[in-house]
Amino acid sequence: MSKAERTKQFIVEKTAPIFNVKGYAGTSVNDMMAATGLTKGSIYGNFRNKDDVALAAFDHNRKKVDQVVRREMEKEKSAKGKLMVYAKVYGNFYKDAFPEGGCPILNTAIEADDTHAVLREKAADAITGWKNNIAGIIQKGVANNEFSADVDPEQIAISIVALIEGGIMVAKVTGKLNYRTAIMKSVEKMINDLS
């Protein structure tokens, strides 16, 4: 990795938590400078603008979440076990190596839905990819006779995503973590009902 690539990575790693907590609009150049110890010129010598830093920060935060999920899925053999990873990981994301501020997909989607088309597209692509991964696991479960053949993988998958993200949002807004726990139990029930 070249010095320029290392510097870019450093900027992303240091600013990603700020973007995930404060959002795009709430993150200032001064925040980025304070987090990195670099000047504005050094940051923008590596990125064209704040948008580029924010997009790279989103990708970084999403990758951290994906790594946590992937690590837990590797421990599971069955399709059902793999699906249950989502309820486990998102039910305990304060304990796992999640990015500071929680789920970057939720945070970005809520902020960018009406304000930043490119970030909104990144969040939408992340949701679609997540939904497709879940649907693929369900399809394998159907093929392996773990799940009923009459389930609709797409419908179940998007419902799981919506329940998880909704549970996180409700818990964050109300400050009641037991709401997230209750909703993750609904996700588990939905998975158990696939058989």
Over residues 136-186, the pLDDT tens digits come to 999 999 999 999 999 999 999 999 999 999 999 999 899 998 999 999 999
The token duo for 193 is: 């009902």
For the chain, the domains span 59-192
State the average pLDDT for the chain. Answer: 94
- The CATH number of the structural domain formed by 59-192 is 1.10.357.10
Full-model pTM: 0.92
Q: Is the pLDDT score of 12 beyond 90?
A: yes
Q: Is the pLDDT score of 94 beyond 70?
A: no
